[in-house]
Every structure is written in C-alpha cells, then in structure tokens.
C-alpha cells in the first residue's frame, strides 16, 4: 500500500483537522466526537446533520457549510460513527427551528442514528430523521435492508440546505428531502478495488480485464462481474439502469451527475458525461444542471456512478442557490 498517511489509526482525525485548518473562517471541530460544524449557527433556521463512515469525501464532513449541512460526524473508514458522536452532532447544532437528520441507508448508520435521535428527543430536541436510498443496483446488499444511499445524497443535502437557509420550517425541509429522494436514482460501476488505510490491502479482488457493475461505495457487490467494455457501452449500462428505474421520460428536466469514485481522472468522467448527455437527449430529457466530478467516493476506487434527479421549479431553484463548503475549487 502506498498512501499519503502517517499512522493509519490517525488518518481520519488528521484529515478532519486539515479540513478545519483550511476553513477556519467557516468551520469548527469537536475532535472528541470527530464532528465538524458551522460557526455561528442561526437558531431560527432548521439545522441539517449527517454522519457516516469516512472514505467517501467530500461527503459528508466536507459538505458542511452555509447552504449545505450544519454539522456532520465521521466514523472510521467505511464504518458508522458511534452513537455518542451522532448524538453530540445533533446536540451541537440543535436549533429552535429543529434538526433534520439525513441518514444514508446502511444498517450501521441507521442503528446509530436511530439511537442518537431517541436520546436527543428525550432531551427535548425537536428533530426529524430521513433515510436516503437512491441506488438502483440491488434491492438488498451486504450492509442494507433495501436500497443503499449513495451519490444522490448530494442532491438531498443541497436542496435541504438551500431551503433551510430561507427560514423554512422543519416539515417543509423534510418534505423536500422526501421529494428529492423520490426522484433521484444512481447506479455505480467499479474498475478496481480500494484500500482502507487501516486494512492496508484491497477489500475485494477484481481482474485487470473485469468490472463490477452496480458496485456499492464500500466495494460491496452489485449486479454482476463482467469483462470490461468501452466507455460508451459502460455509460449505456448505467444510463439504462437509472433512466428505466424512475422512469425518467420525455419532457423531464433533470440534474445529471457523473461522480468519480476516487481513482478515475476528470477527463474520463467527461467521456462518460458526453455519452450520457446524448442518451438523455435521445430519451427527450433536458439536462438543466450537470455535475461532473467527485461528490461521493470510495477512497481510491476507479470507476464512477451516474445519478439523475427529476427536477421541478422549486428543486431547480434550490440547486442553483449559493452554498459554501470545504470543497472550494473557484
């Protein structure tokens, strides 16, 4: 394993400290609970929190900032954060307007957040919990009952974050989470495995000429293992799986995301986008917004996922609203 790490056991706290060091104007940390929160939380607005395993950056702690999450906590790489961290995350930003807890559908995350929410409610904190499950690849996987929560999470965070900034109520922000999740679909594909720093070895074996279709963001199996194909054929597989599931149909306005899983160069993602945009045009879709880059990764896995969200006028406005997070590339 060749990685830019010191002691692998300190990998998560060290990267989080770096995020804070680079964004000390916006963010602060509570290192004991591996949580990052916004400075100057506005008590009149709904707070939005999330927390999951590390290894998916920029999700989830790097999505904290005005217009996105209010706070987030990290577990170890690919493992749910502990209950006390989830509880402290809620407590650290609990506002009069309430807290929306966004949870990606994995058993470990759900149990930790369920308990944390019950504890916070017993303390009189007003909250609602919402489960994100946008992955079309498999019905049940290694770590889930039901579909996994993957890159579509970005759109839930973005829309909820933007709406919360307007001073909307907890019920209204929750309703938007529901609407995004109901209209977003994702399918992923891996060319290589990935190496959690503390493990030091790849989490699954895959041949040089193979790909895993429908892979999860922890390397968990998807629909099938096949011989690798040209990018356009790969794009067709991903697009058909996503498009047919909702289904997206002629006349729909959509947001399209081609998300890199960590080990694929931006240029390759644009090769995928080029074909996906053509396929969308053939279906009669209008791509109102596009996102090509890394939003939800699996450490250094090579591969990508394709996400589409069916838009309405409110969602389109919310996606266009400004946000400021740790991933600043301007």
Residues identified as active-site: 56, 218
CB of 170 to other proteins, least distance (A): 23
Please name which of 158, 150, 292 lies closest in space to residue 222, comparing C-alpha atoms: 150
What is the spatial order of strands in the sheet that 210-213 belongs to? 224-227, 210-213, 184-190, 303-310, 253-260, 286-293
CB of 135 to other proteins, least distance (A): 22
Tokens of 155: 């759109």
Q: Cis bond leading into 278, ω under 30°?
A: no
Tokens of 127: 């909250």
Distance CA 148, CA 155 (A): 15
Q: Does 94 bind other proteins (CB under 8 A)?
A: no
SS3 278: helix
CB of 107 to other proteins, least distance (A): 8
The residue range among 76-84, 92-100, 264-272, 302-310 that interacts with other proteins, by the rule CB under 8 A, is: 76-84
Helix (H) or strand (E) holding 131: strand 127-132
Angle at Cα 307 formed by Cα 55 and Cα 16, nearest 5°?
20
Q: Does 5 bind other proteins (CB under 8 A)?
A: no
**Residue in 37, 51, 64, 87 binding other proteins, rule: CB under 8 A:** 87
- Nearer Cβ to other proteins, position 43 or 111? 111
Q: Does 84 bind other proteins (CB under 8 A)?
A: yes
What are the beta bridge partners of residue 101? 49, 129
CB of 111 to other proteins, least distance (A): 4
The residue range among 80-88, 90-98, 124-132, 235-243 that interacts with other proteins, by the rule CB under 8 A, is: 80-88
Please name which of 77, 68, 67, 61 lies closest in space to residue 28, comparing C-alpha atoms: 61
The residue range among 10-18, 39-47, 112-120, 256-264 that interacts with other proteins, by the rule CB under 8 A, is: 112-120
**Residue in 83, 246, 277, 321 binding other proteins, rule: CB under 8 A:** 83
Q: Does 30 bind other proteins (CB under 8 A)?
A: no
Q: Does 119 bind other proteins (CB under 8 A)?
A: yes
Which residue has 């944390």 as its token pair?
Answer: 116
Q: Does 146 bind other proteins (CB under 8 A)?
A: no
Helix ranges (H only) for the chain are 11-22, 83-93, 107-122, 153-165, 170-183, 231-245, 266-283, 313-320
**Residue in 5, 17, 115, 287 binding other proteins, rule: CB under 8 A:** 115
Site residues for other proteins, window 233-292 (CB under 8 A)?
A: none
In sequence order, which residues have a C-beta less than 8 Å from that of residue 141 and are 6 or more positions away?
148, 216, 220, 221
The residue range among 82-90, 221-229, 242-250, 261-269 that interacts with other proteins, by the rule CB under 8 A, is: 82-90
- Nearer Cβ to other proteins, position 111 or 320? 111
**Residue in 29, 64, 112, 163 binding other proteins, rule: CB under 8 A:** 112
107-122 helix and 83-93 helix, angle to the nearest 10 degrees = 50
Pairing of strands 286-293, 253-260: parallel
CB of 302 to other proteins, least distance (A): 31
The residue range among 50-58, 116-124, 217-225, 251-259 that interacts with other proteins, by the rule CB under 8 A, is: 116-124
- Using CB under 8 A as the binding criterion, the count of chain residues that bind other proteins stands at 11
Q: Does 118 bind other proteins (CB under 8 A)?
A: yes
Q: Using CB under 8 A as the criterion, which residues of the chain lie in contact with other proteins when the complex forms?
A: 82-84, 87, 111-112, 114-115, 118-119, 122
């Amino acid at each position: 394993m060749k990685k830019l790490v010191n002691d692998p056991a300190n990998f998560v706290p060290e990267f989080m400290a770096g995020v804070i060091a680079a964004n000390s104007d916006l963010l602060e940390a509570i290192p004991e609970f591996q949580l990052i929160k916004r400075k100057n939380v506005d008590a009149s607005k709904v707070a939005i929190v999330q927390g999951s395993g590390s290894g998916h950056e920029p999700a989830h702690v790097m999505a904290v900032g005005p217009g996105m999450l209010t706070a987030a906590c990290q577990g170890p790489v690919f493992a749910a954060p502990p209950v006390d961290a989830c509880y402290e995350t809620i407590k650290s930003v609990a506002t009069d307007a309430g807290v929306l807890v966004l949870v990606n559908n994995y058993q470990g995350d759900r149990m930790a957040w369920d308990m944390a929410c019950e504890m916070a409610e017993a303390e009189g904190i007003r909250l609602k919990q919402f489960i994100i499950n946008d992955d079309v690849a498999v019905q049940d996987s290694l770590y889930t009952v039901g579909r996994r929560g993957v890159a579509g999470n970005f759109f839930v965070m973005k829309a909820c974050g933007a709406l919360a900034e307007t001073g909307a109520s907890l019920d209204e922000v929750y309703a938007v989470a529901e609407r995004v999740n109901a209209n977003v679909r994702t399918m992923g594909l891996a060319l290589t495995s990935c190496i959690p720093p503390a493990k030091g070895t790849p989490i699954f074996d895959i041949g040089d000429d193979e790909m895993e279709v429908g892979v999860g963001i922890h390397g968990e199996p998807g629909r099938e293992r096949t011989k690798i194909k040209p990018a356009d054929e790969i794009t067709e597989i991903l697009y058909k799986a996503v498009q047919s599931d909702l289904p997206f149909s002629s006349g729909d306005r959509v947001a399209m995301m081609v998300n890199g899983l960590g080990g694929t160069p931006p240029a390759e993602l644009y090769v995928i986008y080029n074909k996906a945009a053509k396929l969308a045009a053939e279906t009669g879709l209008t791509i109102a917004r596009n996102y090509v880059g890394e939003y939800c990764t699996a450490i250094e896995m090579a591969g990508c996922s394709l996400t589409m969200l069916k838009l309405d006028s409110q969602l389109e406005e919310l996606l266009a609203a400004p946000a400021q997070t740790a991933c600043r590339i301007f």
